[in-house]
Amino acid sequence: MTLPPRLRWLWITFAIVVLDRATKAWFEARTTEGWRYEVIHNFIYLVHSRNPGIAFGVLADSPSTMTRVILIAGSLVVIAVLAWLLVSGKTTGAMGNAGLALLLGGAAGNVADRIFHGAVTDFFEVWFGSYHYPAFNVADSAITLGAVLILLDVLFGRRHETPHQVS
């Protein structure tokens, strides 16, 4: 059985979800929240943190159950749109398809955390001098890389030109 060309990109999505969930499960099983280990002095740390909010901890302090419901519902809508864009062939190149597959995998990984654990587990932390980049995970990395690939595809991807009609 061969998959239609558009569905072949879903292996990236699946790989991201599996890798994201496996790394989060490993951290959750072996460390406690607040655990910290310096990998490269003053640069890269492994940490165990949980983010019930969205990117960069926005809405993390909201005590409302409705906030969680809205975040999950919004994520599911985004996942549905990304899946439709990927499967329907709305992008033209490999870079755009790979970007959509990475975005889809990252979004699915993080929404699974929200649904089953109430928060997203993060475990990488990076410091640039005194600047501290918020903790992130494999899904967040996939989302960032996917967004970059889509942007590059939009800016530099090949375009199919339509023939000019002669009147």
Q: Indicate the helix (H) or strand (E) that contains 38.
A: strand 36-40
140 as an active site residue: the answer is: yes
127 strand-pairing partners: 132
Q: Which of 20, 113, 140, 153 is catalytic?
A: 140
Q: Which among 101, 106, 111 has a CA at the least distance from the CA of 149?
A: 101
Using CA atoms in the order 67, 68, 73, 79, what is the torsion angle rounded to 10 degrees? Answer: 120
122 as an active site residue: the answer is: yes
Q: Which among 34, 39, 7, 16 has a CA at the least distance from the CA of 137?
A: 16
Q: Which of 20, 113, 122, 153 is catalytic?
A: 122
Residue 105 neighbours by CB under 8 Å, 6+ apart? 12, 13, 14, 15, 16, 17, 20, 139, 142, 146
> Could you list the active site residues?
122, 140
